[in-house]
Amino acid sequence: MSPLGSDPRKRKSKAKPFWERGYDGHVYWLGKAKLGKVTLHADKAAPSRYTWEASGRTGAADDLGKAKQAVETAVALADRQLDLFSS
């Protein structure tokens, strides 16, 4: 240990996104930035049970796990995809 009290071998780990459960859905966060969300349909006659939004994309799924996976995939693709009209 150094005299200042911090261990020079420790590195700050990169922040990882996480899911937070809400009243009628789940939100995907990275720190204080909202990356995407999954909401439950209020209408019981809806064709899909869940809708998701992330990175300017939307979709629907019957399973919560599939909807969360779609949000994570959309966020990952948006992070890697280059802008069409860059300055």
Domain annotation covers residue 56: yes
Decide if 71 is inside a domain. yes
Residue 1 lies in a domain: no
Nearest to 42 by CA among 31, 51, 33, 29: 51
* pLDDT for residue 5: 61
The C-alpha angle 59, 61, 66, rounded to 5 degrees, equals 105
Q: What is residue 4's predicted lDDT score, i.e. its pLDDT? A: 63
Looking at residue 49, its pLDDT comes to 94
pLDDT at 17: 94
> 67 φ, ψ to 5°?
-65, -45
Beta bridge partners of 49: none
Asked, for residue 16, whether it belongs to a domain, the answer is no
pLDDT at 60: 95
Each residue's pLDDT expressed in tens, for the chain with a length of 87 residues: 555 666 667 677 788 999 999 999 999 999 999 999 999 988 888 889 999 999 999 999 999 999 999 999 999 998 776 666 665
- Domain that includes residue 74, residue range: 28-80
- Total structural domains within the chain: 1
Residue 48 within any structural domain of the chain: yes
